Structure 1
Amino acid sequence: MRLIIGALVMAMALVSCQTKPTKVTSEQGVVGAPEKLMDGNPTILDVRAPFEFNLSHVPGAINVRWEDFSQQDPNSRGVLQDDLFAISRRLALIGIDPDSKVVVLGKGSLGNGEEGRIAWTLNVLGVKNVHTALHTVARATNPKGDEALVKNKPMWKPVVDESLFIDARNFKAYATQTLSPLKMTGKKKHKKAMDLPVSSLFGLNFNDAKSKVIILDVRASAEYGINNLTKYKNVKAPVAQLEWKEFFTETNALNKDIEKKLESKGITKDKIVMVISSHGVRSGAVTYALRELGYRQSVNFAGGYEQWK
């Protein structure tokens, strides 16, 4: 009997000395961006599909899609809505105004540049403090991991940065390096479209600007090989190709090393870079990246090849 009691006491002592299980929390270190990126309680946007977003997302993030701010015409899906004030009103409802710090989360190289496209859209509307990062950024601003309440901002009128985009008519003019013949594209027509002057790029007249223009195709090499602007006899401007993924690191931060590749393609900071992709998403991401890297004369042809055709 004594032996049995002794064995029971020893077993209880062993159990009491065992290490207690570690409590697992949802808080993680920042992955995909410097820790300071989340400082200042930024508005967090997540551009992934709703299904992916609902499976898992950073607490307080707001799910948006680039299509939410673009036209419905299948031939010009990448062109922003005509009513930019309507977009700014929607942004105000999710807590964004021109002074906001915004972090846009996406899938990085596994996506199609959607986070960069949203960043470009915000820049167009005058929101300048915008950053991109991977959706795996998971440091919660609330230690409990609760969803933060969205605080509305007062309605604001966007100060549109028109230098960030170029319409189909002007893109064609600079791509072909000719002012004639030109026709307006899209639903809006003008009785004297042929008489409308081509807008100057960055304060330069047409002849001076066209000598500085270079077209940058940011689709994948396979897409570029099937069809690109060099196959059109009327295109006179030089065309270069670099895939959009090369402008971002594995953590979805800006890739500063891309400047060497750009220079090898003849793209320097004094050039006017007209960026093109299929429908303005990947090219929007690259235009955002180029501007952040100091290529201040970069523009997104948001209509892309869809509108060019």
Structure 2
Amino acid sequence: MARVITAALLDAALRGYKTIYQNAFAAAPSMYASVATIVPSTTREEIYSWLGDMPKMREWIGDRRVKQLTAKGYSITNRKFEMTIAVERDDIEDDKLSLYNARFQMMGQSAAQHPDEIVFELINGGFSTLCYDGQNFFDTDHPVGQPGQETSVSNMQAGSGEIWILADLSRPLKPFIFQKRRDYEFTTKEDGRTSDHVFMKDQYLYGVDARVAAGFGFWQMAFGSKAELTSANLRAAYTAMTEFKDDEGRKLNIKPTHLIVGNTNHFKARDILMSEQINGSTNVDRNLVQLLHAPLLG
């Protein structure tokens, strides 16, 4: 005999599925918070005018030198995402709710890892997507210096291989930004027989949605390469980052902390950073930086 679908029964189903979703969401591994600063958003679009100036202390001689926000006009517009699961009315009547548990677990895991997808989608496009200074994030021509006296600075190596990135992830603002307007919220549309969808499709709908986006922070915090991952290329990128200066010619004191690699370079990176010896000689690059394997990179 089929169960009568009451408001109490639907509430119990919602609580059960929501708990399954939340547990899977909390348990899912993710990487975006390691490479991106999480910034709350309060509107459709956020303008990051302060990205034109990396703060640095100076000796106080005379009046304070007030740092004005540079009108770079870099903005990040939030995007909307959703995922919806339909539960057949017959399965609720027949007490078959457990058939959907795995799908709601997958929903929770997918939602938790979705920021990784949009952050690394952004990173993969870093060689062809503009950042705050009007240049591609990974570029050879970042203008540095006072107006009219700028010089071009590079944070990239050209090549045709899989992307690898050297990054300083030690600071409050990381190289990339994950902007969050509305978090990944589990919800349902259904309210019994009054739902149009239930009436027409004989299904109850449960879903998750969010308003989020990814964007670039300071290009000085990351060095991108498509060249072969070798000790020489890694050292060249490392040295270049430590030499980065602000517009006043002062070193930014950047020290790379992580090498971010995709699947193709994973074992090569392990050899460079973890092997005690290479070709019978002491590996002087061992533990130079930490290794971060990002399957979505490249």
What TM-score comes out, normalization by structure 2 length?
A: 0.28
**Structure holding more strand per residue:** 2
Structure 1 length-normalised TM: 0.27
